[in-house]
Structure 1
Amino acid sequence: MVRVGGGTQDRALYDPLLPLAINNTFPTATSDQSTTVTISPTFFESFQIFPNTRYIHGFNQGKNGTSALTSLLHQADLACRAIGPNLHLWELGNENDLAPGRYRPMNWTLTAYVGEWREKTAAIVEQLQKSCPDVGTGFVEPSFAWDRYATPGFEPAEAFEIGINGYMNSQSPSTLRGTLMNHSSIVYSISKHVNLSQALSNLDLPFILGESNSISGQGSNGLTNVFGSALWLLDYDLWCASQPIASRGIPPTTRPPYYANIMVAKALGREHKTQPLSIPRKSDTEAVYAVYDNSILARLGYRIAKVERLDAGESDATEGVSVGGVVYDYVLAEGRPVVRNRTEESMELQDV
């Protein structure tokens, strides 16, 4: 599934005469995100690139006025025709709880947000029903940055999924050991999603983890491109699974977090009834999980377990990462598996 939007969707405007598919305006030559995004009719041809792919398409809620609404309706018309049956859901706005003081008054409230959201989504739905009567009209909302406005009082009847965005931290003052390789930090970060999903359970809607990642703002060198981030992802994904909720100029490379996904897949296995449980440890820098298949202990046992090691020389390593002795570095075989010293190990965990 591909989400087309995010931070830039609230800066996107439609220009039918633009000779390019998309034009991004950046404030400086080194900026990561554009301040203005202009798209043309040919932009929507990009939805045909990936066959059999589901999409969430984001609309601009940040811009108000007649021209902004006209732009919204043009985009709705073109997007529904391009996406067709591959649509998952629509989305209006991104992290609008951060709007006060940016593009809304400081006293902008949850009530004002819901009223504006409903007014604009109603106009979009009307256009969709005219242009593509066979395409769905469901929305995922509210995609807030955290839970400032996302309270039980938020009840958009038109939403089909709900969720919020949430990163471990921003680029500063994050550290590898204190932020990403810290189990308590991970538990605290995910607890916000867990608590909110429970608070909104009365809506009886699927709760999704939106922009849930390590460091916001496109990550940071020394934090998200080193082996420590793979260890973070391993702990993060398994802890999520144990909870009651469902570059330009850079050569191709296999980044260390890729290995964590392999490790999580191996840990969860293929059984339909798999449940990972976290084993409490005394140290914040340790995380151990027992994985049960059909209520039977299967992997990473409490006393003695056969393990496949996710390994690298140091937590700040950018290459030489392996899972069970298998390396997927791009420079070796363009990302295909290369076996290096594959061995089986056992481990014993002491009582804590």
Structure 2
Amino acid sequence: MNALLWSTLLVPSAWAAASLARAYTPIIAQNRTLSVPSSAPLGRQIIDAAFQSYSIELSSMVDFAGNLSHPNTLSHRLLQNLFSLSGAHPLIRAGGTTANRAIWVQNQTAAIIATFSPSSPDQPSALTIGPKFMESFHTFPSGTKYIFGLNFGDGDAGLDQTVLEAAGPVGSLGDSLYAFEIGNEKTSPFPNQNLALTQTGWPGSSRRPTNWTVQAYVTQFLQYATAIDSSVPNHPLYQAGAFEAPRALSNPNHTLWNAESILYDGIARTGMVKTIAEHDVCISSRCVRVLLMFGAKRCAWRTVCTWGDEFDFCKSIPYRPPSPSLPNLTLSPPPIKCQGAPLISNVFASALWSIDYVLYVSTLHISRLYFHQGTNYRYSAWQPISTPTADAGVRPLYYGNLFIATAFAGGEKQVAVLINETAFTGYGIYEAGDGRLSGLAVVNLRMWNSTQKAEERPYTAVQVKVPDEKLGNATVRRLTAPGVEIAGNVTWAGRSVDAEGFLTGTEVVEKIGHGNTVLVGAGEAVLITL
């Protein structure tokens, strides 16, 4: 059975679609104009169709992927859905906190042996992996590429273990191994002025001495990479950094833990570094308050998790194609710390937030986004297996990923910010080759709960103004749910994902309304395709 086999219903207009689906006339709460320039801003970066990718906790890879005898068909279908829409396989980063704890045991017959402690039920406190672990990297759709997170233990024993571990993925994956990442979230602790909290880090912990600086990290990273280069033939390049936010912003002496500092210290001079990763993380208690205040906005950068100077640094980098001599930046979006929070990370609001976040970040000279997930993590796009605390199946975030996969189909896109407000955003999507406008995305982040009367849901009438005024053949696909605070009854263009990962139902494709107008309800997003 084809996971993307469906019928399509073409509805006359956005107004008619809303009326047909709800059997009442939508309430127009306000009118907006979306003025669209004829081309993307000069120098805007070009993104590929796999710009939106995934990071999977290393200890959860067997759950997400299965093995050769028992592959996880749910994960396979969900990834195949995205490929069928976008034309590109999402990259998979296998890493995270447990990559720092993993020990490779060459003669271990089990794929993974994990030890959990009562104080940390989401992640094992210790784990060993062996050659059979690599079977999990052969069950996802053919063509998938991987970043493999290596342990970054200290001293001679740590270096030996990193080199030993690196040999396994190289021998198993070959060209499917996109990059290595040595260590995860090595950031130094610092008092954060905005959140009045202190971030933990490696210096002064059991991992490194107190005087371990960002400059010392660069030296040690290059030492480990050189050792792998000498011992493991045909290995890939590296993803450096993996620093955790929020972080201090002022960096005049290049001593802070961020991409700017390690580039200054020469991490890219050898040509071994392909990309530099930054992790944007929200602190849980503050994010709860943000959700209650802003509804669908969840914990986006415009509210609490502001990168400030870090985003400015990304903007300041002149766009250029990826080059080993000057690596691009990658980013993990800001989930709520400690694997997310129930009824916040796993509700429909997260899908709307993700669309806005991905589209905005695609304008910042960041080369790729990786949504992190793990077994039982509240912020995951899907739960890979059933456990005592969660059933296997998709989460609302996955529907936001479907939206983006459709918007970036074919790759070679450039994105322009058209409206940038706390509760309402709009983006233009352009073809980099010929510069033509290929799509528009509008996200209405205003609060709407499922407990409110459906017929009272307010809509914004958006009139699209393009230079040639020709939108007659434009189509509209709608992401919606009864409310932003629930996880169920989410639909993308009238369709939903079933328990086995198949897209089901009749696809509802709307035609743009009279006067080039489309309706966007509170807590909805629409994609206009030209």
Q: Same fold (TM over 0.5)?
A: yes
Aligned partner of 2:279 among 154, 166, 175:
166
Q: Which residue of 2 aligns with 1:235?
A: 356
Q: 1:132 aligns to what?
A: none
1:82 equivalent in structure 2: 172
Deviation at 1:298, TM superposition (A): 4.9
Q: Which residue in 2 is equivalent to 1:257?
A: 397
SS of structure 2 residue aligned to 1:99 = coil
Aligned pair partner of 1:127 in 220, 231, 239: 231
Q: Is the 8 A contact 2:300 2:334 kept in 1?
A: no
* C-alpha distance in structure 1 between counterparts of 2:399 and 2:464, whole Å: 24
Instruction: State how many pairs are aligned.
Output: 339
Residue 127 (structure 1) shift: 0.9
Aligned to 2:478: 309
Give the counterpart letter for 2:209 in structure 1. P
Query: For residues 269 and 190 of structure 1, what CA distance do their matches in structure 2 show?
Result: 30
Give the Cα–Cα distance (whole angstroms) in 1 for the partners of residues 408 and 304 of structure 2: 19
Contact 2:287 2:299 in 1 (8 A): no
Cα offset, 1:213, TM superposition: 3.9
Is 1:57 equivalent to 2:148 in the alignment?
Answer: yes
Mean alpha-carbon deviation: is it higher for 136-145 or for 40-49?
40-49
Inter-CA distance 80–341: structure 2 relative to 1 (3 Å threshold): closer
Match of 1:142 in 2: 241
Q: 1:6-60: per-residue Cα shift (whole Å, max 9, x none)?
A: 2111111123343422111222176211221212233234333344322212221
**Aligned partners of 2:100 and 2:151 also within 8 Å:** yes
**CA positional deviation for 1:192:** 2.8
> Which of 138-147 and 196-205 deviates more?
196-205
Distance 1:334 1:77 in 2: 34
Task: Find the aligned partners of 2:156 and 2:229 in 1 and give their Cα distance.
Answer: 17
SS for the counterpart of 1:242 is coil
The 3-state SS of whatever aligns with 2:171 is helix
CA shift, 1:229, in A, is: 0.4
Query: Distance in 1 between the 2:212 and 2:420 partners?
Result: 43
Q: Which residue of structure 1 lines up, in the alignment, with residue 113 of structure 2? A: 23
Match in the other structure for 2:496: 328
Post-superposition offset of 1:343: 5.0
CA RMSD in angstroms comes to 3.3
Alignment of 1:1-352 (within 5 A): 1-28=91-118, 31-50=121-140, 51-61=142-152, 63-97=153-187, 98-102=201-205, 103-129=207-233, 135-146=234-245, 148-150=256-258, 151=261, 152-156=263-267, 157-158=269-270, 159-175=272-288, 176=291, 177-178=293-294, 180=298, 184-185=302-303, 188-189=306-307, 192-193=310-311, 195-196=313-314, 198=316, 205-246=326-367, 247=376, 248-249=386-387, 250-268=390-408, 272-281=412-421, 284-292=422-430, 294-296=435-437, 298-299=439-440, 303-304=463-464, 307-324=476-493, 326-330=494-498, 334-339=501-506, 343-344=510-511, 346-347=517-518
Deviation at 1:108, TM superposition (A): 1.4
Q: Is the 8 A contact 1:128 1:137 kept in 2?
A: no
Q: Measure, in 2, the Cα distance between the counterparts of 1:264 and 1:190.
A: 25
SS in 1 for 2:128: strand
TM-score for the superposition, normalised by structure 2? 0.57
Relative distance call for 1:339 and 1:92 in structure 2 (3 A) is: same
Q: For 2:441 and 2:156, how far apart are their aligned partners in 1?
A: 59
Give the deviation of 1:236 after TM superposition: 0.7
TM-score of the aligned structures, taking structure 1 as reference length = 0.82
Q: Distance in 1 between matches of 2:158 and 2:437?
A: 56
Q: Displacement, 1:99? A: 0.8
Question: Distance in 2 between the 1:187 and 1:303 partners?
Answer: 32
Q: How many Å separate the matches in 1 of 2:411 and 2:129?
A: 45
Instruction: Tell me the CA shift for residue 296 of structure 1.
Output: 4.3
Q: Give 1:116 shift.
A: 1.6
Q: Cα distance, 1:67 vs. partner?
A: 3.1
Which one has more relative contact order, counting CA pairs under 8 Å at least 6 apart?
2
Distance 1:16 1:297 in 2: 50
- 2:223 and 2:300 map into 1 onto residues whose CA distance is 43
